Structure 1
């Protein structure tokens, strides 16, 4: 099969012919119909993830058709249209038994723990726990984005942050995760304030439901305070500077959602967290069993993840697009069709 192969961190990968994966016990192999290009893939390419072993194939947001079914997998057939969370949980540990597959200690992530979906085929371990059937009218490109950015934002905003109508929600960073969060928070009735350095991203944020947009600057915190302050803030990019601005923007007893990765760490004013009774909430993906609520809202038109897709590229165009993330995250979502 053809796949994008990383042979050295930070060095432009190339498309190569590599062996197609075989289905292990409990797993399936998917023909990749669409896969998203995410900033997490860039972090992996840069060497920020210790689980990656070179040579490596990135890619963790995916949708496709089942091409082969391993032994011990029941209820799934070749040809079915599916997606999967980027966190493939074991289904047997304490966290999984409690329904918290997104923090499974035995989890495997395509594109990180093993070869991912920047390829024509990809394996999905623990298939019975992690596969999600797709509605017939949901296209593969839209479904691919659900596995990481959209589902991550849905759980962060709705299930972890518990955003309700009338709250001020400030989203820092309007890439795929941030724009998804804007759309979801607006659909819940929140007043959304979007912050980014990219005017094109802010334009999209307004289209997806932001009431206010702010060009990131040294006055961002004061501008947010002038708008009433934030009940909820979300760092959708991953930056120590953003974290500081987010925490300073919160009203007393506000909630901060950390979704963006922080490979260089972060400094926290614990005194402010205590004195203002602020909450720091981490959110990491969403388990397969939680997808039905999100898919229902997509089916009814309350959420429109298809609108987030701004670019579709080929496998051959992927290495350059991955490298371009070094200069910043483009507006909207980029989908790869192998």
Structure 2
């Protein structure tokens, strides 16, 4: 099969022929029809994830058709249309038994713990726990966008963030996950303030339901701007980008007893990120993390998509072939972009 491969962190990737994967006894191999280009893939390529061993094939946000099935898989067969959360759970650890597969103690992640979906085929573990059926009417490009950014945003806003109608919600960073969060919060009846440095990203945020926007490149205090627009501050604020600056701005955007949800990864040389804890203490703020979404919790999200209340298809702003991935991955370091770029490995 053809795949995107890198031999060293941060050095150019290339498209080459590699050996086709085989399914584990509990797993499947999926023919990849669409896979998203996500900032997490860029972080992995830069060496920010300790699970990656070289050489490596990135990619974790995918949809496709089951090609081969392991001997112990009971719920799936070749030809099934599927997607999968980026966290593949074991199904038997204490976290999984409690229903928290997104923080599985023995999780695997395609594109991180093993070769991923920037390829024509990908192996996925524990299929009976992790696969999600893709409705016939849903395109593979739309389904691929659900596996990481949209599902992560849904859980961050709805499950972790506990959004309520009428609340002010601030979203810092309007890439794929941020725009997903804007759409989901707006559909939940919240009033959304979108924050980004890109006019194009802010235009998309308005399109997807933001009632106010803050151009972070035009102010030295985005948190104060959000508090002013949000009638004293956000009830819920998300850092959807992942940087010390956006993390602090998100926390500082909150009103008393507000809720911050950290969605974007926060790589740093020593593994720490400064957080304004004095404000968290004084205002009794909640500081929460959000790490994907378990497969068994997809149905409510899929029902909202089916009903047209959520439109993840509108977030797909670009479709590229496998040969364009090396250049697009490199560009994410300086221009994260707006919306979702989808790779079609067979085009």
Calculate the TM-score normalised by the size of structure 1.
0.99
Question: d(CA) in 1 for partners of 2:189 and 2:342?
Answer: 29
- Segment of structure 1 superposing worse, 261-270 or 302-311: 261-270
1:134 and 1:294 map into 2 onto residues whose CA distance is 12
Q: Distance in 2 between matches of 1:205 and 1:270?
A: 29
Map of 2:115 onto structure 1: 115
Counterparts of 1:33 and 1:224, CA distance in 2: 40
In 2, the alpha carbon distance for the partners of 1:211 and 1:16 equals 46
d(CA) in 2 for partners of 1:174, 1:71 = 43
Counterpart Cα distance in 1 of 2:171 and 2:325: 27
The alpha-carbon deviation at position 132 of structure 1 amounts to: 0.4
Q: Distance in 2 between matches of 1:47 and 1:278?
A: 33
Is 1:269 the counterpart of 2:276? The answer is: yes
What residue number does 2:147 align with?
A: 147
Query: Following superposition of structure 1 onto structure 2, how do residues 304-319 of structure 1 map, counting pairs within 5 Å?
Result: 304-319=311-326
Aligned to 1:278: 285
- Say which SS state the counterpart of residue 60 (structure 1) adopts: coil
| Structure 1 residue aligned with 2:303 | 296
State the Cα deviation string for residues 72-115 of structure 1 (Å, max 9, x = none).
00021100000000000000011101100000010000000000
How much has 1:311 moved relative to structure 2? 0.2
Deviation for aligned residue 1:319: 0.6
Which runs of no fewer than 5 residues in structure 1 stay unpaired?
none
Deviation at 1:271, TM superposition (A): 2.3
1:252 and 2:251 are equivalent in the alignment: no
CA distance in 2, matches of 1:249, 1:168: 10
> Which ranges in structure 2 are unaligned for 5 or more consecutive residues?
none
**What is the distance in 1 between the residues matched to 2:264 and 2:335?**
14
Secondary structure at the aligned position of 2:332 is classed as helix
Quote how far apart the aligned CAs of 1:328 are: 2.3
1:69 is aligned to 69
Residue 219 of structure 1 deviates from its aligned partner by: 3.1
- In the alignment, is residue 219 of structure 1 matched against residue 239 of structure 2? no
C-alpha contact (below 8 Å) 2:59/2:111 kept by paired residues: yes
In structure 2, the partner of 1:88 is: 88
Q: 2: distance between equivalents of 1:132 and 1:269?
A: 39
Deviations along 1:33-59, one digit per CA (max 9) or x if unpaired, are: 000000000000000011000000000
Q: What residue is the counterpart of 2:197 in the other structure?
A: 197
Q: Is residue 240 from structure 1 mapped to residue 244 from structure 2 by the alignment?
A: yes
| 2:127 counterpart residue number | 127
Distance in 2 (alpha carbons) for counterparts of 1:117 and 1:268: 34
| In structure 2, C-alpha distance between the alignment counterparts of 1:83 and 1:190, rounded to whole Å | 29
Superposition TM-score, scaled by structure 2 size? 0.96
2: CA distance between counterparts of 1:213 and 1:9?
A: 36
CA distance in 2, matches of 1:210, 1:222: 18
Residue 87 of structure 2 contacts residue 108 of structure 2 at CA under 8 Å; is this kept in 1?
yes
Q: Secondary structure at the match of 1:313?
A: strand
The 2-side partners of 1:147 and 1:269 are apart by 31
| CA distance in 2: counterparts of 1:131 and 1:236, whole angstroms | 25
Number of matched pairs: 338
Q: Distance in 2 between matches of 1:183 and 1:257?
A: 16
2:252 and 2:276 in contact (8 A); partners too: no
* Alpha-carbon separation, structure 1, partners of 2:300 and 2:101: 17
Q: What is the SS of the residue equivalent to 2:255?
A: strand
Partners of 2:253 and 2:155 in 1: CA distance: 22
**C-alpha deviation, 1:270, in angstroms:** 2.2
Q: Does 1:175 align with 2:175?
A: yes
Residue pair 2:102, 2:292 contacting (<8 A) in 1 also = yes
Structure 1 residues 253-292: Cα deviation after superposition (integer angstroms, max 9, x where no partner): 0000100000113112322211110000100000000000
267-276 or 179-188, which deviates more = 267-276
